[in-house]
Amino acid sequence: MNRALTDFKSALMFITILPAGRATAFSPTGMIRFFPVVGLVLGTLLILTDRLASLFWQAPVVALVDVLCLVVMTGAFHLDGLGDAADGLFSHRSRERALEIMKDSRTGMMGLVAVVSILALKTAGIYSLKTACSGMETLVLLLIVPAYARGGTLFGIRLLKYGRENRGTGLALFQEQLPAKDFRYLLIPVALSLCLGTTGLIINGVFGVSIFLILLFYKKKMGCITGDMLGAMTEVTETVLFLTAGMHLF
């Protein structure tokens, strides 16, 4: 129990700025399995933010507040990775040069475009979700989408090799092979999605296809993955799922 709590707190401190109590031992490989659980924590706080904002503003403003809430709670951690990854992946340079570009703390034009586009699309997706879905469906989707997005990174960690030797923010996550049992907490949002009927089935299908296509692109383009690419993966998956949930087809 103490080990599980330590691992959960490590995950919370690693991918969010949320308080996790007193300083605890950092458990890089043990914390990975709790990424979906941290996503559920973010989703819960997102629901509270959404409900509070809805008391004062209409859906377009609330959607923007929701997106800013996610940015603040994660300290723009994933967005920073998205910007760096976009600069490297779309630089049309060699693999080695692309990795160097990702490591540069300065954000280039491709990174800026990627960040602005993701924020705009995510806002539009949440707004559409709020207008297309019932109140209960909206609450469930706001809860589970952040969990799916962070759980999706487990596939990247397990299936692709780390692209930097002995350095990088993501290095600690690749010290050991991620066992299949560490995916068990991803079953929580999957189980909750079943409450949504057809919408839940489509969300799960889109999630699977999105993860497959992102990892296929990474494999063909770089033959590896980095911490920045994991962050980009989180942001893209989250945005795609919100857009899917807001489609007027269900």
DSSP 171-187: GGGGSSPPPGGGGGGGH
Q: What is the mean pLDDT of residues 86-104?
A: 80
Token pair recorded at residue 219: 């494999």
pLDDT value at residue 170: 65
Q: In the Cβ-directed half-sphere of 76, how many Cα atoms lie within 13 Å?
A: 8
pLDDT digits (tens, 9 = 90+) for 188-202: 999 999 999 899 999
Query: Contact, 43 vs 143, CB < 8 A?
Result: yes
Angle (deg, nearest 10), helices 95-103 and 77-89: 150
Q: Looking at per-residue confidence, does 9 or 237 come out higher?
A: 237
In 3D space, the residue among 68, 88, 214, 193 whose CA is nearest the CA of residue 143 turns out to be: 193
Whether 58 shows a pLDDT value over 80: the answer reads yes
pLDDT digits (tens, 9 = 90+) for 211-231: 999 999 999 988 889 888 999
Across the chain, mean pLDDT equals: 89
Query: Contact, 71 vs 63, CB < 8 A?
Result: no
pLDDT digits (tens, 9 = 90+) for 10-43: 888 889 988 877 656 667 778 899 999 999 999 9
Q: Is the pTM of the predicted complex or chain greater than 0.85?
A: yes
In sequence order, what are the beta bridge partners of 225?
A: 162
C-alpha 185, offset from chain centre: 15
pLDDT value at residue 105: 72
- Classify residue 141 by burial, with Cβ atoms within 10 Å: 0-12, 13-18, 19+: buried
Distances (CA, A) of 171 to 157, 176, 190: 10, 10, 28
